[in-house]
Amino acid sequence: SLTVKWRGKPVFIRHRPEDQIKAAEDVPLNQLPDPQPDSARVQKPEWLIVIGVCTHLGCIPLGQNPGENRGPYGGWFCPCHGSIYDTSGRIRQGPAPANLAVPTYAFTADTKVKIG
């Protein structure tokens, strides 16, 4: 995981292993408060890029650093009010009304991405 700043906001970049990709792809959309397939949130399945701002009240969720609480879905956990996101950055539990936003981005090389 890597966090960068873009337009004053943290952007979470996560290289997802196969088990996280599979977990994100296997979720039935009818179980999601803000239904969106994983394939609509990524350009390359192994790379997830989301704006790291909780959609409830703008807090910064935990889960980017080793040892931080990622919640039961392996994504991110916002301790302020208990919003829990999965490995695709989709809201699974708590008061957040929407998934973590996906910024506009493009891969300029295998290991380089341009955000915005």
- What's the token pair of residue 104? 């506009």
- What's the token pair of residue 79? 């301790």
d(Cα 7, Cα 115) in Å, to the nearest integer? 10
Q: Are 89 and 50 within 8 A, CB to CB?
A: yes
Active site residue 81: yes
Query: Which is the catalytic residue, given 81, 98, 106, 114?
Result: 81
**What phi-psi label fits residue 5: left (phi over 0), alpha (psi between -120 and 50 degrees) or beta?**
beta
- Active site amino acids: 81
